[in-house]
Amino acid sequence: MPDRVELSRSGLAFAIGSYLLWGFLPLYFLALAPSGPFEIVGWRVTLSLVFCALLITVTGAWRPFVVLVRDRRILFTMGLAGVLIYVNWQTYVYAAVSGQVVEAALGYFINPIVTVFLGVLVQRERLNPTQWVAVGISIIAVVVLAVGYGQLPWIALVLAFSFGVYGLIKKRVGPKVDALSGLTLETAWLTPLAIVQLVFVGTTAGLTLGTVSTWHTILLLLAGAVTAVPLLLFAAASRRLPLIYMGFIQYFAPFIQFLVGVVVLKEPMPPERWIGFSLVWLALFVLTFDLVRGARSARRQVVQLT
């Protein structure tokens, strides 16, 4: 019994750690000024690959990694996942450095609802009435926010859908691909694009690495670790915690991002934006209520069977 408690505590610590790091990412990207989003993502991809290769070397995991590479289905699936995470990273970094952190937070708030919606469209899952209510409220929220912004909140939608589809792809490869191998394959696919991106930035605006200050250079060189560590913590938490706990903790990151945008960066929050966010939070409450109810029902059935 004590072992199970210890596992739960360590899983909780890993989960909270991963989402706290993701929550404060906007401040990290802002600290990289004057680096632009294209340079930041270029270094983020290439240095993530370097960091992952070092971790695989240290852990002696090259043999199972090579086995994955020889599986063409997994190899090309991770390539598709890489494209989606590239779109997600590029959009998120652009939002962070252009003063749109609140809208980026909105994307991760609506991500669980988008995931449910994608389950209906892609996997032909059936929603119960409560889940449909949550989806309906979120659609109304997007309409309200679109009116408030004067346009669709495209940053939030791109973040939510790119990460939602990315999650579906990762779910299909399942336990065959661990977090470290997955990120290594994804960044390996993206590294040629990242190099082209860095060359383009270097020949136009000019690369900032090593030209600003020692502190700036150190921060930029940490981009690989900053990317990989939260993902590895998340993977460790997923193996130790029930899904319902992960479902609750996932709101930490967008909530911190929201506070960073509103309190630290003083981004505007007109009434219609507050109304839109309130509707999103209401939809999340409905979805969480359904999740808790479903977990309790499943627990009761297990008790009855035993």
Helices 101-123 and 72-97: crossing angle in degrees, nearest 10, is: 150
- Helix, coil or strand: residue 211: coil
CA–CA distance, 254 with 284 (Å, rounded to integer): 12
| Residue type at 269 in one-letter notation | M
Question: What pLDDT is stored for residue 260 in this prediction?
Answer: 93
CA–CA distance, 231 with 163 (Å, rounded to integer): 13
CA–CA distance, 114 with 58 (Å, rounded to integer): 37
φ, ψ of residue 293 to 5 degrees: the values are -60, -45
What are the pLDDT digits (tens) for 49-73?
A: 999 999 999 988 898 899 889 998 9
Q: Return the structure tokens found at 276.
A: 């839109």
Whether residue 218 has pLDDT greater than 60: yes
| Residue type at 31 in one-letter notation | A
Segments in the chain forming alpha helices (H): 2-23, 25-31, 37-59, 62-70, 72-97, 101-123, 129-149, 154-173, 179-203, 214-221, 223-240, 243-249, 252-259, 271-305
Planar angle of CA 185, 87, 83, nearest 5 degrees: 35
Whether residue 301 has pLDDT greater than 80: no
What are the pLDDT digits (tens) for 225-284?
A: 998 898 888 877 876 776 566 666 778 889 999 999 999 999 998 888 899 889 989 988
Domain count, the chain: 1
Domain range for 258 is 2-305
What are the pLDDT digits (tens) for 106-158?
A: 998 888 888 777 777 776 777 788 878 888 888 898 888 888 777 888 999 99
CA–CA distance, 281 with 134 (Å, rounded to integer): 10
Question: What pLDDT is stored for residue 105 in this prediction?
Answer: 92
How far, in Å, are 98, 196, 255 from residue 269 at the CA level? Answer: 16, 38, 15
The model's pTM is: 0.86
Question: What pLDDT is stored for residue 3 in this prediction?
Answer: 41
pLDDT averaged over every residue in the chain:
85
Give the pLDDT band of residue 13 (cuts 50, 70, 90). Answer: confident
Neighbours of 253 (CB within 10 A): 22
